[in-house]
Amino acid sequence: MTDSAGSFIWYELMSPDPRAAKAFYERVFAWTIEPEPSGAMDYRMITAALGNVGGVLTLTPEMIAGGAAAAWVGYVSVDDVDASVAALEAAGGRTPMPAHDLPGIGRIALASDPQGAVFYLMRPAPNAGAPPAPVFAPGQLGHVAWNELSTRDQAAAIGFYSGLLGWTFDERLSMGPMGDYVFIHHHGTRLGGVMQQAAVPPAWLFYAQVADIAAAAEAVRAGGGMVIMGPAPTPEGGQVIVARDPQGAVFGAVQNA
């Protein structure tokens, strides 16, 4: 994890079946997922080219009974979790899981924006030695290359995230009748985009890099998942798919030009 405020620093798969998740995602991406948890908590690290990119959190029956379901969730770094939670709630967001400390890891809160898209706020604990490799690393196989928000109120979402995280939204691409695709920038880096979607629940979608999008789509199907969209071209000449794993978590894959 890194500690650059406003950056995506971790990606987490919440899954009721971590062994099935390992078998599925290792087919699709250049990942290695721990076969067993290394600590007391059932949490299994996902490793790609440059290092760890995320983890698999096992959903317990109690979590599922409480409403948790298979999903991918991104972590965004902030300087002060409690201050960010206060600002988020003042702007109409919610915190389904209040801010709390994870010893040796950092302080986190599970949040949702005013339209309901879920993400974590995190202040990582100080790390000794060299900083870890980035988890958001466009162009690196297995690393997330794009973060995309689908929302029912694009203008409100832009105002919310710019105020909370300091992101800028100065670049747009016309999608015709679908409206504009608005790009997210942070400290000169294009993190992803925001699109207006009335027909789907507001959510973040994360695209990880693959070498061959057709092979990734076939791996999804062979592993018992479903390709929801694509392969489809990107404006830069690449290709993407959106897919659902066998437990129901939605994710993306991208092959850059």
CATH number of the domain to which 116 belongs = 3.10.180.10
List, for residues 135-163, the tens digit of each pLDDT value: 999 999 999 999 999 999 999 999 999 99
What is the rounded CA–CA span in Å between residue 102 and residue 124? 9
Q: Over the stretch 26-39, which tens digit does the pLDDT of each residue have? A: 999 999 999 998 87
Same domain (yes/no): 246, 157: yes
Whether residues 119 and 150 share a domain: the answer is no
Same domain? 14 vs 79: yes
> Which DSSP category does 39 fall into?
S
Question: What H or E segment, with its residue span, contains residue 220?
Answer: helix 213-222
Evaluate if residue 90 carries a pLDDT over 70.
yes
Are residues 120 and 91 both part of a single domain?
Answer: yes
User: Quick check: is 129 in a domain?
Assistant: no
Which of the residue ranges 35-39, 239-243, 250-254 would you say has the lowest mean pLDDT?
35-39
Residues 6+ apart with CB under 8 A from 86: none
Q: Over the chain, what is the mean pLDDT?
A: 93
Asked if 149 and 251 sit in the same domain, the reply is yes
Boundary (domain end) residue, out of 95, 124, 153? 124
Does residue 130 belong to any structural domain of this protein?
no
111 and 170 inside one domain = no
Do 190 and 102 have their domain in common? no
Let me know if residue 20 belongs to a domain: yes
Tell me the pLDDT tens digit for each residue of 178-199: 889 999 999 999 999 999 998 8
The count of domains in the chain is 2
Determine phi and psi for 147, rounding to 5 degrees: -120, 120
The reply to whether 86 and 160 lie within a common domain is: no
Domain holding 106, by residue range, is 8-124
Residue 135 lies inside a defined structural domain of this protein = no
Residues 162 and 239 in one domain: yes
99-124 pLDDT tens trace? 999 988 899 999 999 999 999 999 99
User: Confidence class of residue 132 from pLDDT cuts 50, 70 and 90?
Assistant: low
**Interatomic CA distance for residues 200 and 54, integer angstroms:** 25
Predicted local distance difference test score (pLDDT) of residue 104: 85
**Residue 101 resides in a domain:** yes
Query: Would 61 be classed as within a structural domain?
Result: yes
Does 137 fall in a domain?
A: no
Q: How confident is the model at residue 134 (pLDDT cuts 50, 70, 90)?
A: confident
Q: Are strands 32-33 and 180-186 parallel, antiparallel or unpaired?
A: unpaired
pLDDT at 1 over 50: no
Q: Write down which residue in 70, 91, 124 finishes a domain.
A: 124
- pLDDT per position as a tens digit, 195-228: 999 888 999 999 999 999 999 999 999 999 999 9
Q: What pLDDT does residue 126 have?
A: 81
Task: Answer yes or no: is pLDDT of 128 > 60.
Answer: no
Same domain, 85 and 160: no
In the predicted structure, residue 131 carries a pLDDT above the cut 60: no
- Of the residues 124, 154, 179, the one at which a domain ends: 124
Residues 149 and 118 occupy one common structural domain: no
Determine, yes or no, domain membership for 2.
no
Element (H, E) at 102: strand 94-102
**pLDDT tens track for 39-83:** 778 999 999 988 999 999 999 999 999 889 999 999 999 999 999
Percent of the chain with pLDDT over 90: 83
Q: Are residues 40 and 119 in the same domain?
A: yes
